[in-house]
Amino acid sequence: MRRPSTEIRDIAPTERFTTYGNLHYPLEQTLVESFVKAAIDEESIIGHSAWGESLKSWVSLMTGYLEVDNDALDHCPDRQAVEWYSHNFGRIHETKFGPIDRRVSKRLGSGKETPIDIRGSPI
């Protein structure tokens, strides 16, 4: 029986996880990759579902609030995951719709926006 590629093996590679004691925390690429692969699986099995949309929203939150760059999956061996991420949130998406607005504001358009983005860079 084949094991899923996102399953943590007994010895996790240090470049994909941070270890504290006996806990393995996924780094940026691994975390995004696992959500993207789950979203792809959900789309291919069911099509359009609430769970698939939830997965997309989590990837969107990682892209915006956790400062995941649009090239986060460029070194991923799964070409389908790279293409899906690039089309929905990465380079292809930014080429079509412009850069993602990373301003920290609940009142976008009110004139009270923070003049810096999440990373502290001036807008």
pLDDT at 11: 45
Q: How many CB atoms lie within 10 A of CB 104?
A: 11
Contact indicator for 102, 118 with CB cutoff of 8 Å = yes
pLDDT at 80: 92
pLDDT at 1: 46
pLDDT at 12: 44
pLDDT at 59: 86
pLDDT at 93: 78
* Dihedral, 25, 60, 93, 114 alpha carbons, nearest 10: -110
Report residues of the chain scoring pLDDT below 70. Answer: 1-14, 101-120, 123
pLDDT at 95: 83
